């Protein structure tokens, strides 16, 4: 099986669009064109270096007992609005990625989950401002009451045929769900010490 791990829908350099006007530490104006090979600006006054890195996120494949997958429709005001995606979001600085998965699934679907493991990691060079690195997890429902929340306005359990017809926000989601329905997915177990006890069944 081929593992798809890099998705690029932008042809320009994000760094050029993320150039800062002023040093965030001391306020000195950055030189107009100052940018190194890897999109860095360095302050001539305080030596502050502006590093640009991808934003880390998680998504979760949640399975039903009939082996369907849960996806959500993004609100019309969200980026890539009215398209479908797997539940997920950005990792906060204070969280482990496992904690993020539980929080995001709870916020977006109302469900508590039991995470089985990691199925892939992908780079999404989405557009000139958004470059994410996403850990994809797989798990099952362990409780809660299903209700769309946060940026999702509708939830749907899909089988393979329905999956083929969905309009997805992210190419990576389509590929990972393809892989699931092909039955070719391998799972790396997660560190169970960081699983919240509330998700245990």
Of 181, 60, 183, 199, the residue nearest 118 (C-alpha): 60
Q: What is the DSSP string of 97-164?
A: HHHHHHHHHHHHHSEEEEEEEEEEEEEEEEETTEEEEEEEEEEEEEEE-----TTEEEEEEE-HHHHH
Question: Which segment (42-50, 71-79, 162-170, 190-198) binds Zn ion by CB under 5 A?
Answer: 42-50
94-133: which residues touch Zn ion (CB under 5 A)?
none
18-37: which residues touch Zn ion (CB under 5 A)?
23, 25-26, 28
Out of 46, 49, 188, 200, the only residue in the binding site for Zn ion (CB under 5 A) is 46
**Does 43 participate in binding Zn ion (rule CB under 5 A)?**
yes
**Does 155 participate in binding Zn ion (rule CB under 5 A)?**
no
Tell me the longest C-alpha to C-alpha distance in the chain: 61
What is the number of other CB atoms lying within 10 angstroms of the CB of residue 128?
A: 15
Nearer to Zn ion, 23 or 61 (CB): 23
Nearer to Zn ion, 46 or 200 (CB): 46
Question: Which segment (16-24, 72-80, 133-141, 182-190) binds Zn ion by CB under 5 A?
Answer: 16-24
Q: Which residues bind Zn ion (CB under 5 A)?
A: 23, 25-26, 28, 43, 45-46, 48
């Amino acid at each position: 099986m081929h593992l798809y791990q890099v998705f690029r829908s932008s042809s320009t350099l994000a760094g050029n669009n993320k150039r800062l006007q002023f040093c965030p530490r001391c306020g000195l104006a950055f030189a107009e064109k100052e940018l190194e090979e890897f999109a860095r600006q360095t302050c001539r006054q305080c030596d502050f270096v502006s590093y640009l890195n991808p934003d880390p996120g998680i998504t979760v494949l949640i399975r039903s007992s009939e082996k369907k997958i849960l996806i959500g429709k993004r609100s019309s005001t969200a980026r890539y609005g009215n398209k479908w995606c797997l539940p997920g979001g950005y990792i906060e600085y204070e969280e482990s990625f496992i904690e993020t998965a539980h929080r995001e699934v709870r916020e977006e679907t109302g469900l508590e989950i039991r995470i089985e493991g990691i199925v892939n990691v992908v780079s999404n060079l989405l557009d000139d401002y958004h470059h994410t690195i996403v850990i994809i997890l797989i798990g099952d429902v362990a409780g809660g009451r299903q209700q769309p929340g946060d940026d999702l306005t509708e939830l749907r359990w899909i089988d393979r045929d329905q999956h083929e017809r969905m309009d997805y926000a992210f190419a990576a989601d389509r590929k990972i769900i393809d892989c699931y329905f092909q039955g070719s997915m391998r799972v790396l177990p997660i560190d169970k010490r960081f699983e919240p006890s509330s998700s245990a069944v």
